[in-house]
């Protein structure tokens, strides 16, 4: 029955002794990742022959990861290119709509300018036919001046609109 018990030795001091040489006695030395890969790929002459399967599996895994990364990058780039093309088409369609609207607006502005020119030419003809000058009565003078001011404002607005339309047409 005495062989079932293990004797423990006790130390006379209450503190534990420190391991010798800074605790490195029982540890094995660790090498870095690349050193261990190199050791795996190129075994030393003292280790003897190793199986090639771990190296083949490691190479196959690296090739598989490289291919998966490449496939993922190609897939991602294709999706981005598709999105860019789709967005480009949308912008082109919007530009077409805006150009149609600007063309219609330009036609309206040209019609209004023609109307203004016709009104001015009619006014000029009426003045020449009646033989009156602008220096006539104050009431006539004020009415003519108001009409001329209105037509001038309208002409300035039409010129500004025409310039915007021409700039938009040049940009297209």
Contact 106, 165 (CB under 8 A): yes
23 domain residue, yes or no: no
Task: Domain of residue 60: give its range.
Answer: 49-171
Whether 33 is covered by a domain: the verdict is no
Most distant CA pair in the chain, distance = 150
* pTM of the predicted structure, to 2 decimals: 0.38
What string of pLDDT tens digits covers the 172 residues of the chain? 455 655 555 555 556 555 555 555 555 666 676 777 767 666 555 456 668 888 899 999 999 999 999 999 999 999 999 999 999 999 999 999 999 988 898 888 888 888 888 888 888 888 777 765 545 567 777 888 888 888 888 888 888 888 888 887 777 6
Closest of 12, 58, 63 to residue 37, by C-alpha: 58
Domain count, the chain: 1
Is residue 16 domain-resident? Answer: no
Classify residue 89: in a domain, yes or no. Answer: yes
75 falls within a domain:
yes
Measured CA to CA in angstroms, residue 130 lies from 63, 126, 127, 151 at distances of 99, 6, 5, 21
The residue assigned the tokens 């309208």 is 154
Evaluate whether residue 151 is within a structural domain: yes
53-67 in b/e form (b: 16+ CB < 10 A) is eeeeeeeeeeeeeee
CA distances to 117, 149, 150 from 160, in Å? 16, 16, 15
Give domain status of residue 83, yes or no: yes
User: Which pLDDT score, from 0 to 100, does residue 94 have?
Assistant: 92
Cα(96)–Cα(117) distance, rounded to whole angstroms?
31
Q: Is 132 contained in some domain?
A: yes
**pLDDT of res. 136:** 55
């Amino acid at each position: 029955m005495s062989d079932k018990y293990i004797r423990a030795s006790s130390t006379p001091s209450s503190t534990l002794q420190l391991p010798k040489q800074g605790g490195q006695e029982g540890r094995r030395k660790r090498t870095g990742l690349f050193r261990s890969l190199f050791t795996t790929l190129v075994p030393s002459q003292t280790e003897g022959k190793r199986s090639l399967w771990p190296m083949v599996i490691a190479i196959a895994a690296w090739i598989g990861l490289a291919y998966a990364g490449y496939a993922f990058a190609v897939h991602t780039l294709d999706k981005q290119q598709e999105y860019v093309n789709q967005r480009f088409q949308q912008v082109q369609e919007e530009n077409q709509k805006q150009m149609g609207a600007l063309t219609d607006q330009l036609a309206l502005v040209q019609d209004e300018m023609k109307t203004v020119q016709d009104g001015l030419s009619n006014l000029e003809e009426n003045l020449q036919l009646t033989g009156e000058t602008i220096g006539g009565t104050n009431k006539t003078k004020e009415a003519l001046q108001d009409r001329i001011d209105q037509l001038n404002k309208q002409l300035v607005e039409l010129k500004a609109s025409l310039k915007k339309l021409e700039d938009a047409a040049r940009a297209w």
